[in-house]
Amino acid sequence: MIDMSPNQAPTLAEKTAPAETTSAIRLRGLRKEFGSVVAVEGVDLDIAQGEFFSMLGPSGSGKTTVLRMIAGFELPTSGTVELAGRDVTRLAPFERDVNTVFQDYALFPHMTVQQNVEYGLRVKKVPRAQRRERAREALRTVHLEGFESRKPTQLSGGQRQRVALARALVNRPKVLLLDEPLGALDLKLRHAMQTELKQIQRDVGITFIFVTHDQDEALTMSDRIAVFNTGGIEQVGTPSEVYEKPATAFVAGFVGTSNLLSGDSAEAVLGTRGVFSIRPEKIRIDPDLSQPAAVGEVSATGTVTSTSYAGATVRYVVALDVGGQLSVVRQNAGAPLELADNRVRLCWRQEHNFRITE
Ligand SMILES: Nc1ncnc2c1ncn2[C@@H]1O[C@H](COP(=O)(O)OP(=O)(O)OP(=O)(O)O)[C@@H](O)[C@H]1O
């Protein structure tokens, strides 16, 4: 038995050992088959308590299926789901400390906002006064005070989305699962709700698992992102890791736009073969070919084949003399460069090209 008496000095090992932290969610070897379709394969993931974690990927890449296995709506073909250190793989949804917010909100149309938010508590037989208070608090969190007696049809899309959020938050789950919750909103409202949702997550401190196919949304909102492709995870990292250091050609192409330099062109420009990714905004374009590259930069010459003006930025596509092409994005800070059919030199810092593992 361990002596826990207060006057016993901790050993060096105890002092230096990291604090024991249990992941909010731990997935191991997760696989899901629907008949002959393998929807999810080999997913291992640890999500920390209080994280805003996004699952990002194209349609059909398996994000929703993973979310549904965490929620308990789907049983994995193999693998395990742990919530706060407890194996819940075979438990029903209501036996798990998670709530889900769906894209279509799934509000009860005949109930008022207040009744919708209170619903989960009524099912759990929480006393009426306590129900009222907790619903009021949840509606305050999502900035919907004063809307208690409205019906869902009398609300805007953004307000309905907030009711759905309040209805989940009122249960005080440890983990909130959000399946494309902003998908039905127009772009402006979507941007406003992104900021608001992130702020709400910070305020309540609940772990949020957010499914989206919108890379800008994932980059702006998340602490970390898992990038999905064909049922598996290509990379997990912070937004800047995933953007600045894409691990695979798929991530480089899906998260932002990227150039790939490979084969003979890579050898001629970078002095080595392989596949390399370079972000268009990292490349400097110079019509003065006599200007050498600075120390630490690599450079290539070529001809501008197209120019697209996008207001704040201008994009140039340059056919390299050594073969291949690179696209360059230039901030439109001064006068735009008129470069149609021009010969140009492209320069970028060596650390801005990344070897892709594929
Ligand atoms: N109930 C089901 N029966 C059969 N196949 C399914 C079922 N649910 C999902 N799938 C298939 O599994 C794969 C992954 O689907 P999933 O919905 O997880 O992808 P997703 O990345 O969430 O896509 P989206 O962004 O379009 O929602 C797809 O090929 C899909 O057709």
Q: Considering the chain, what percentage of its residues have pLDDT values greater than 90?
A: 56
pLDDT score of 338: 77
Q: Give residue 39 CA to ligand 1 midpoint distance, Å.
A: 6
221 lines ligand 1 (CB under 6 A): no
Tell me the mean pLDDT in the region 206-223.
93
C-alpha dihedral, 168 to 141 to 195 to 65, nearest 10°: -10
Rounded average pLDDT over 199-228: 92
List the residue whose alpha carbon is closest to atom 3 of ligand 1: 34
pLDDT band at 27, cuts 50/70/90? very high
Question: Is residue 183 in contact with ligand 1, taking CB distance under 6 Å?
Answer: no
| Average pLDDT of span 105-121 | 90
Residue 112 has what pLDDT? 94
Q: What is the percent of the chain where pLDDT is above 70?
A: 93
Residue of the CA atom closest to atom 30 of ligand 1: 60
Cα 228 to ligand 1 centre (Å):
12
| Per-residue pLDDT at 204 | 85
- The tens digit of pLDDT for each residue in 290-339 reads 888 889 999 999 999 999 988 889 999 999 999 999 999 998 887 767 77
Comparing 358 with 134, the larger pLDDT belongs to 134
Residue 99, strand partner residues: 176
Question: How far apart, in whole angstroms, are the C-alpha atoms of residue 32 and residue 43?
Answer: 10
CATH code of 259-355, in short, is 2.40.50.100
The yes-or-no verdict on residue 5 having pLDDT over 80 is no
Q: What is the mean pLDDT of residues 58-86?
A: 95
Determine the pLDDT at residue 40. 97
Quote the pLDDT of residue 38: 96
DSSP characters for 287-336? S-TTSPPPTTEEEEEEEEEEEEE-SSEEEEEEEETTSSEEEEEEE-SSSP
Residue 240 in contact with ligand 1 by CB distance below 6 A: no
Model pLDDT for residues 82-108, shown as the tens digit of each residue? 999 999 999 999 899 898 888 776 889
Domain ranges of the chain: 25-246, 259-355
Q: Whose CA is closest to atom 8 on ligand 1?
A: 65
Ligand 1 contact, 64 CB (< 6 A): yes
- For 25-246, CATH number out of 3.40.50.300, 2.40.50.100, 2.40.128.520, 1.10.1040.10 equals 3.40.50.300
pLDDT confidence tier of residue 191, bands split at 50, 70 and 90: confident
pLDDT beyond 70 at 18: no
**Interatomic CA distance for residues 246 and 260, integer angstroms:** 11
Query: Which amino acid belongs to residue 7?
Result: N
**Mutational test site, ligand 1, from 64, 104, 217, 233, max ligand atoms within 8 Å of CB:** 64
Instruction: For residue range 136-165, list pLDDT tens digits in order.
Output: 988 988 888 899 999 999 998 888 888 998
Say if residue 209's pLDDT is above 50: yes
Q: How much is the pLDDT for 357?
A: 62
DSSP 3-state of 162: helix
User: Which residue puts its alpha carbon closest to atom 2 of ligand 1?
Assistant: 34
State the pLDDT at residue 249.
85
Q: Is the pLDDT of residue 19 over 50?
A: no
Mean pLDDT of 47-56: 96
pLDDT band for position 228 (50/70/90)?
A: very high
C-alpha 64 – ligand 1 centre gap (Å): 7
Q: What one-letter code names the amino acid at 126?
A: V
What's the mean per-residue pLDDT of the chain?
88
Q: How far is CA 310 from CA 305, 316, 333, 336, in A?
A: 17, 11, 13, 11
Q: Is the CB of 61 under 6 A from ligand 1?
A: yes
The 10s digit of each residue's pLDDT in 242-292 is: 998 888 889 988 998 888 898 899 999 999 888 898 999 999 999 888 888
Residue 90, pLDDT score:
95
> With bands split at pLDDT 50, 70 and 90, how would you rate the model's confidence at 118?
very high
Nearest residue (CA) to ligand 1, atom 24: 59
Residue minimizing CA distance to atom 22 of ligand 1: 64
* Beta-strand runs (E) in the chain: 25-34, 37-47, 52-56, 78-83, 86-87, 98-101, 175-179, 207-212, 224-229, 232-237, 259-262, 275-278, 284-286, 297-309, 313-320, 325-331, 343-349, 353-355
Q: What is the pLDDT of residue 212?
A: 93
Q: Quote the Cα angle for 104-138-217, to 5°.
A: 50
Going by C-alpha positions, the residue among 67, 43, 46, 44 that lies closest to residue 55 is 67
